[in-house]
Chains A and B, each alone.
Chain A
């Protein structure tokens, strides 16, 4: 991790992808405790089935946290100005996600250099679970 050098990134360039370990029930139990989000659709299979799901589903924020890991594996935490995602599909147990990033835009305004990256979490079939923007202050 280093400062993002404005002149060294190009629109369309991709970030090294990040593979997320297969999502298991234990990951979500642990995430529930850490985050404080105890919505039972994420930790109680019986409840989830009664709510009309096949079983428990991942917290959207667990998926966003994985996207966040890609962000902080590429840029320094202190240079991140904005990070936002839209949740597009539910993530089920047993799914294997890969987090990808593509440089979308770079601009300089009032001497301030900024790089925007399209970041996405996809499963093995290429279905996007969450996608959004990372905005980084560059040098």
Chain B
């Protein structure tokens, strides 16, 4: 099964995820980030934040821990999981991502077929008032044999 352009615009399930201070700390320890604003609420407040912010690439945590169904969805869309490579990741930030409940929804933003097959997913992460916090674009490249 191959991918087709017909899937452009298809929406994946909306889901929610609770960003926890402990998860931010764990993520920062894993990437060697040592800035105290990510670990200590008081330090964050001194720097002008209302709580510990999540670092720039933290949205990946929301995707993988919040929506593990992404793998099944990709397979159902005709993407061969054994052949994918991460090609691009882009974040546009509207607000600071803080601990608390967020909602997320992904859709297929673009598909390229032919010699190089590329699928781009756009995910928007919203706060509880449904205001967008950030949008992420992930492009995957499907290797050919």
Q: Which A residues lie at the B interface, using CB under 8 A?
A: 1, 20-21, 27, 30-31, 33-37, 51, 60-62, 64-66, 68-69, 71-73, 76-78, 80-87, 132
Range class of the B interface residue count: 35 or more
Residue of B30, B32, B49, B96 with most partner-chain A CB within 10 A? B30
The interface residues of chain B lying within 8 Å CB-to-CB of A65 are 31, 33, 55-57
Interface string of B49-64 (1 = CB under 8 A from A): 1000101110011011
Determine the chain B residues whose CB is within 8 A of the CB of A84 once the complex forms.
Answer: 88-91, 137
Q: How far is the CA of A72 from the CA of B23 in the complex (A)?
A: 18
Q: Within 8 Å of chain A (Cβ to Cβ): is B119?
A: no
CB distance from B47 to the nearest CB of A (A): 7
Interface contact tally, CB-CB below 8 A? 104
Q: Within residues 23 to 56 of chain B, which ones have a CB less than 8 A from any CB in chain A?
A: 23, 26-27, 29-33, 35, 37, 47-49, 53, 55-56
Cβ-based interface call for B85 (8 A): yes
The residue among A1, A34, A85, A132 with the most chain B CB atoms within 10 A of its own CB is A34
**Is there contact, CB below 8 Å, between A51 and B82?**
yes
User: Are A20 and B32 in touch, CB under 8 angstroms?
Assistant: yes
Q: Which residues of B contact A76 (CB under 8 A)?
A: 47-48
A83 near B87: Cβ-Cβ < 8 Å:
no
Query: With a CB–CB cut-off of 8 A, which chain B residues contact A27?
Result: 30
- Check B30–A33 contact: CB distance below 8 A: yes
Contact indicator B61/A21 (Cβ below 8 Å): no
- Expressed in whole angstroms, the Cα–Cα distance for A33 and B25 within the complex equals 13
Closest to A66 in B: B31
Chain A residues, CB < 8 A from B63: 36
Q: Is B114 an interface residue (CB 8 A)?
A: no
User: Once the chains bind, are B55 and A72 in contact (CB under 8 Å)?
Assistant: yes
Choose among A20, A61, A62 the residue with the greatest number of B CB atoms under 10 Å from its CB: A61
Contact (Cβ within 8 A) A80 B56: yes
Q: How far is the CA of A20 from the CA of B31 in the complex (A)?
A: 10
Please give, as numbers and ranges, the residues of chain A lying within 8 Å of B137 by CB-CB distance: 84
**Residue in chain A with minimal CB distance to B96:** A78
Complex contact B88–A78 (CB within 8 A):
no
Closest to B64 in A: A36
Taking the closest CB of chain B, its distance from the CB of A69, in whole angstroms, is 6
